Amino acid sequence: MEIQRFSGDLYEENTYLVLEPQSRLCVLIDPGRFVEALPEGYTLDKILLTHAHVDHALHAQECAERFSAPVYLHRADLPLYRADALSLFAQAGIRRETVPDPIVFDDGEELSFGTLRIVPIHTPGHTPGSVCYRIDDALFSGDMLMRGTIGRIDLPGGNRGEMFESCRLLASMREDPLVCPGHGDYSTLRHEKETNPYLRGIV
Q: What is the reported pLDDT for 201?
A: 83
- Alpha-carbon Rg for the chain in angstroms: 16
Mean pLDDT of the chain: 95
Q: What is the reported pLDDT for 179?
A: 98
Q: Where are the domains of the chain?
A: 2-195
Q: 59: phi > 0 → left, psi -120 to 50 → alpha, else beta; which?
A: alpha
At the top level of CATH, which class does the domain 2-195 belong to? Answer: alpha beta
Cα 15 to Cα 30: distance, rounded to the nearest angstrom: 5
Beta-bridge partner residues of 52: none
Q: 86: phi > 0 → left, psi -120 to 50 → alpha, else beta; which?
A: alpha
Phi, psi angles (nearest 5°) of residue 181? -85, 165
pLDDT tens for residues 24-39? 999 999 999 999 999 9
Q: Closest Cα partner for 105 from 157, 159, 48?
A: 48
The segments of the chain whose pLDDT lies below 50 read none
Q: Closest Cα partner for 51 from 188, 173, 178, 152?
A: 152
* pTM (2 d.p.): 0.96
Cα 25 to Cα 19: distance, rounded to the nearest angstrom: 6
Q: What is the reported pLDDT for 182?
A: 98
